[in-house]
Every structure is written in C-alpha cells, then in structure tokens.
Amino acid sequence: QVQLQESGPGLVKPSQTLSLTCTVSGDSISSGNSSWSWIRQPAVKGLEWIGRFYTTGSTDTDYNPSLKSRVTMSLDTSTNRFSLSLSSVTDADTAVYYCARAPLGTFIDSWGQGTLVTVSS
C-alpha cells in the first residue's frame, strides 16, 4: 500500500521560497505507472492543484497555469522523493499542502496527510 508523507518548514517569510518534500513508500516514483502531484488548500477554501510530474521514458511536468511562473517540481529517484518549490510567496500561499498519486490517466487514489505552511514575517 502506497504511503506519502510531506515534510518541510511550517513557516516561510513573504517573498521567500517555499520548499516541501514528499517521501513515497510502497511505490516507485520512477515506475512510469503514475503521476505525482502537489495540491494545496487554503483554510476554509477549496482544493487547488499545483502541478504534477510523470515519468514515461522522460520526466514530464504539468503546472497550474496560474502558478506556473513560480513553481518548480523535482524528483530524486534514489530516495523516492519529490519536491515542490514555490517562489516569491505571499499571504495567499498560506495553505495545507498535499502530495498525491494518480495512476496514469486516472483519479488521485492516494494522498499524504498534508502539511500546513504559513507565510508570515
């Protein structure tokens, strides 16, 4: 059974870069069978998809167009982890951040527990 766990600082200053890591167990992020996403949820608001990557031969990424200019996702196959960097953060980036898995071409079937990141000076 796949498990995902987010980790990273819970507090980031405005204008700095938010960095989170997702550690995956029970599946390989390089298997090519799934896409791996970051999703966030501001307090009492809905879910916002940030981006995903998938490895089918090469590694491809999709980003939410509204965040694309500030987002970078990367992966470390040696440790089976993937990461999110979000630059130039503001208060609006305060949210619970989830990492998640979706078997290729399908819905999200596994989520991390989520980690709260607060942007504040």
Partner 1 sequence: DIQMTQSPSTLSASVGERVTITCRASQSIRRWLAWYQQKPGKAPKVLISSASILESGVPSRFSGSGSGTEFTLTISSLQPDDFATYYCQQYNTYSPVTFGQGTKLEIK
Provide the sign of the torsion angle of the four alpha carbons 46, 75, 23, 117, taken in this order: negative
Q: How far is the CB of 94 from partner 1 (least distance, A)?
A: 16
Q: Which is nearer to partner 1, 15 or 56 (CB)?
A: 56
Minimum gap (Å) between residue 24 Cβ and partner 1: 15
Would you say 10 or 46 has its CB closer to partner 1? 46
Q: Is 55 in contact with 48 (CB distance < 8 Å)?
A: no
CA nearest 63: which of 93, 34, 80, 85? 85
Percent helix / strand / coil, the chain, rounded to 5? 5, 55, 40
- Least separation in angstroms between CB 111 and partner 1: 4
Q: Looking at beta carbons only, is 7 or 49 nearer to partner 1? A: 49
Which residues of this chain interact with partner 1, rule CB under 8 A?
37, 46-49, 52, 62-65, 98, 102, 104-109, 111-114
